[in-house]
Amino acid sequence: MKLAAEADGAVRGEAAVPGDKSCSHRALILGAMADGATRITGLLESEDVLATARAIASFGIAIDRDGDRAWTLRGGPWGSPPGPVDCGNSGTAARLLIGAIAGMEGRRATVTGDSSLRSRPMGRVTLPLERMGARFIGSDRLPLTVEGARLGGIAHRNEPPSAQVKSAILIAGLGTSAPVSVIEPVASRDHSEIMLGELGCDIMVDEGKAGRTITLGRSRKLQGCELAIGADPSSAAFPLLAAAIVPGSDVLVRGMLVNPLRTGFYEVLEEMGADIELTNERIVGGEILADVRIRHQALRACQVGAARIPAMVDEIPALAVACAFADGESLIEGLAELRVKESDRLGAIIAGLTACGVVAAVDGDSLRIFGRASVRGNASILTRGDHRIAMAFLVLGLAAQGPVEVDEAEMIGTSFPGFVDTMQRLGANIG
Ligand SMILES: O=C(O)C1=C[C@@H](OP(=O)(O)O)[C@@H](O)[C@H](O)C1
Ligand SMILES: C=C(OP(=O)(O)O)C(=O)O
């Protein structure tokens, strides 16, 4: 399905943004490993998260969704699934589930996914898990068979920073009493640490000179609880980007997760001159939520060093679009990881910006973008089956001189079902 976006005045109003994807995967997996019931509100009902829900159900865990869209899991010992566990398009589902199965003695499962996921590296999780004693049949790519085992300990240096790798190790470590720690010279998102604490796991985080060290403590038993998930800052980035680049716009997202390890995009936007207001900050389930409002204002170019990327790794397509409309030359460094996401995002960003008449270049793993207030657009974008590329270029189309079309839009449902509706309600001309 193709979609197109065209400038048609300001976007204004309250954007409905669904629950955070990272927290949703973790709530399902950790809830399924806990004793007793876990009730989850605000769960993201997107393709990626539903793949995790189906996977968990295939291990024999009871999952129900009630009329209020609350999900209840009855955690407990996992069985073995009747067939391959299909993680669809989701790297987080695959890598976290591999960690979970690896630490369950006697369980065996084959994990697979769609063609994009089958091309993404898995050695980053299987190698450290093998050092803990985990057993795999397969290579660096899915499908992989995981044979659960009684694991030993590990002290893993998380480089390059990856929350999926850290989480796989911590989740695998729940099944052992051996020492398990992850050392992060540069911090990655810490939702696993926070949620494990909420579920009663003994977990220590030490911020030292060498970075963060996360250590599992003696009591690693999880107890079911109530989990409430805030709006996803990676999805909110698109309506809020529209507010930042379309003259006259004013968009509000309520209850957004503003965990500082996720808000890099918003910090850079603010440095670029965006008018961002945070109100109603509160702590829910150990995570900080706030209402976030952006009003249009002219942007200037930015400089972003590599150490800041983990806090905005999924927002680089959105940031690149902001840079296209910002006055001057922007430089974003340390983007090697973008090559192994749902698509080669660095390649897709450059190709898309160039097609829209924006001067941009990749130099090693850095991105240079020469921005101006007026962008041509008038382009047809190859999304390479990547949801974030599709959404970023549709938003570009809302502020460009000519329309922007994307070749495939179905994949938007992996992270942001309702994106088109949400944008149309703000007055955006997307369809
Ligand atoms: O742990 C997570 O939920 C995620 C971690 C990031 O991946 P890496 O761990 O590969 O950096 C991010 O890109 C992904 O969308 C979600
Ligand atoms: C990279 C992403 O997700 P995952 O790694 O879970 O596929 C993303 O949502 O941008």
How many domains, the chain? 2
Question: Count of CB atoms within 10 A of residue 301's CB?
Answer: 19
266: domain CATH number is 3.65.10.10
Are 376 and 254 found together in one domain?
Answer: yes
Report which bound ligand comes closest to the CA of 390: 2
Q: Which residues of the chain have pLDDT under 50?
A: none
Of 165, 197, 228, the one marking the end of a domain is: 228
Give the nearest ligand 1 atom to 26 CA: 3
Same domain assignment for residues 135 and 193: yes
Q: How many angstroms separate the alpha carbon of residue 50 from the centre of ligand 2?
A: 14
In this prediction, residue 175 carries a pLDDT of 96
**Shared domain check, 194 and 234:** no
With a Cβ cut-off of 6 Å, ligand 2 is lined by 90-92, 314, 341-342, 388, 415
Based on the fold, state whether residues 244 and 104 are members of the same structural domain. no
Q: Are residues 127 and 108 in the same domain?
A: yes
How far is 209 from 311, CA to CA, in rounded Å?
A: 19
- How far apart are the CA of 97 and the centre of ligand 2, in A? 14
The answer on 254 and 141 residing in a single domain is no
CA 13, CA 246: separation in Å to the nearest integer? 13
Question: Which residue among 228, 243, 275 closes a domain?
Answer: 228
- Report whether 300 belongs to an annotated binding site: no
Both ends of the chain: CA-CA distance in Å? 10
Shared domain for 311 and 362, answered yes or no, is yes
Angle between helices 191-198 and 21-33 (to 10 degrees): 40
394 in Cβ contact with 404 (< 8 Å):
yes
Whether residue 221 is found in the same domain as residue 334: no
Task: Report CA-CA distances (Å) from 80 to 3, 58, 118, 134, 145.
Answer: 41, 8, 22, 16, 12
Is 64 designated active site?
no
- Regarding whether 43 and 131 lie in a shared domain, the answer is yes
Q: What is the DSSP string of 278-297?
A: EEEEEEETTEEEEEEEEE--
**266 and 206 share one domain:** no
Altogether, the residues listed in the chain come to a count of 431
Asked if 245 and 365 sit in the same domain, the reply is: yes
pLDDT at res. 68: 85
Annotated catalytic residue within 64, 314, 363, 365: 314
Residue 221 shares a structural domain with residue 290: no
Ligand 1 pocket check for 22: Cβ under 6 Å: yes
Percent of the chain with pLDDT over 90: 98
Q: Which of 179, 213, 228 is the last residue of a domain?
A: 228
CB of 313 within 6 A of ligand 1: the answer is: yes
Give the domain extent around 163: 21-228
Residue 92, pLDDT score: 98
